[in-house]
């Protein structure tokens, strides 16, 4: 069969992941349309190879060799679908850069994503992770998405309920993992700005800058960007995948135990449970700024693992295992990684 898109053999991925890890894909294709994506899936089925979708490469740890078809999803397009006095419905294709989409939405009078500014990656990856920051999550404005079934090549529709969103979680990380590639996302945003400044650090910064004056959406977005740049290294300068661990959730009884042993522990209530600050746990375990070979924790934010140069996926995995072990030994709390691990041929971790 002849395939209308270019499929590369033994393609280097070092510049396709923000950790800057050396990795080679058995096959690689950039898809710019739904038809090209269907063609790529047909190719993978004929080769009997798994398909690994890749967007901005900001939330993955790649092994040395991926015996798979790596598909770079480059579908582009943004549109305002409808508008009334309360809400603005917008749609974006999966390959759109997330931060650029946020800025576009604000420029078009669609508000609610300003707290999610500067989150790396693409629109298509956002629902998988249910991205969130500074008191806002994607699910807050989510309406639906379209995704291609990897087995059938058909496009299917998912509403909010069928996505099963949780904290940095969705069905695409659980029961429907490795079964779909997202191709578009539709959101309902606010027609008027409703600032969400309840997150302490963001609220404090906006208050210092604007006092009694009401900040604009762009003002809030810029404040979020400034906080993120202060805490997180630029991946174009220092290889990293952003926050590497989720903030763990514990029961009230577990929180009582931890509070008694560590009165200064950083946590906040979530329903009947408590969410712990993973960065604080790592810092208190003495791991902030620590380095083993080419991998280390960022000196200004212990939650971030960085590639000092020359690290491999296995190095990152081993270093993150060490962090999990030391935090668990000290606090009795197991940290869960955020990035997806693609470590071995035909084995998607």
Residues 90 and 108: beta-carbon distance below 8 Å:
yes
Q: Which residue has the tokens 């083993």?
A: 292
Chain centroid offset of residue 142 CA? 16
Query: Among 120, 109, 114, 121, which Cα is nearest to 136's?
Result: 114
Q: For the residues of 282-342, what is the DSSP string, one character each?
A: HHHTT-TT-EETTEEEETTEEEEEEE-SS--HHHHHHHHHHHHHHHHHHHS----B-SEEE
CA distance 48 to 51: 10
Q: Do the strands 155-159 and 180-190 form a parallel or antiparallel pair, or are they unpaired? A: unpaired
Catalytic option among 87, 184, 221, 243:
243
Burial level of 313, CB count in 10 A (0-12/13-18/19+)?
buried
Identify whether 344 is a catalytic site residue: no
Catalytic option among 156, 249, 338, 344:
338
Residues 97 and 56: beta-carbon distance below 8 Å:
yes
Catalytic option among 36, 91, 105, 168:
168
Identify whether 254 is a catalytic site residue: no
Identify whether 243 is a catalytic site residue: yes
End-to-end CA distance of the chain: 31
CA distance 170 to 270: 18
Catalytic residues: 168, 243, 338
């Amino acid at each position: 069969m002849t395939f209308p898109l270019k499929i590369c053999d033994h393609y280097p991925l070092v510049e396709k992941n923000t950790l800057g890890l050396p990795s080679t894909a058995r096959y690689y294709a950039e898809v710019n349309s739904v038809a090209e994506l269907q063609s790529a899936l047909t190719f993978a089925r004929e080769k009997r190879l798994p398909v690994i979708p890749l967007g901005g490469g900001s939330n993955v740890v790649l092994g040395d060799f991926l015996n798979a078809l790596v598909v770079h999803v480059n579908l582009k397009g943004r549109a305002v679908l409808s508008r009334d006095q309360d809400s603005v419905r917008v749609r974006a294709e999966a390959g759109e850069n997330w931060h650029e989409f946020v800025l576009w939405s604000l420029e078009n009078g669609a508000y609610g994503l300003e707290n999610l500014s500067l989150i790396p990656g693409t629109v298509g990856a956002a629902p998988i992770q249910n991205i969130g920051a500074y008191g806002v999550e994607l699910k807050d404005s989510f309406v639906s998405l379209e995704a291609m079934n990897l087995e059938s090549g058909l496009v299917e529709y998912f509403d909010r309920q069928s996505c099963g969103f949780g904290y940095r979680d969705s069905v695409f990380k659980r029961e429907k993992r490795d079964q779909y590639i997202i191709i578009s996302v539709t959101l309902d945003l606010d027609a008027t700005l409703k600032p969400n400044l309840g997150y302490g650090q963001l609220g404090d910064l906006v208050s210092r800058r604007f006092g009694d004056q009401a900040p604009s959406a762009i003002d809030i977005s810029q404040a979020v960007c400034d906080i993120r740049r202060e805490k997180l290294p630029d991946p174009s300068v220092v290889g990293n995948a952003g926050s590497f661990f989720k903030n763990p959730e514990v029961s009230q009884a577990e929180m009582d135990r931890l509070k008694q042993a560590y009165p200064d522990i950083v946590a906040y209530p979530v329903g009947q449970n408590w969410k712990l600050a993973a960065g604080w746990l790592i810092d208190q375990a003495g791991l902030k700024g620590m380095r083993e070979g080419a991998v280390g924790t960022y000196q200004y934010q212990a939650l971030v693992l960085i590639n000092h140069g020359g690290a491999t996926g296995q190095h990152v995995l081993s270093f993150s295992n060490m962090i999990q072990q030391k935090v668990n030994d000290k606090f009795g709390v197991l940290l869960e990684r955020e990035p997806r691990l693609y470590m071995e041929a035909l084995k998607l971790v």
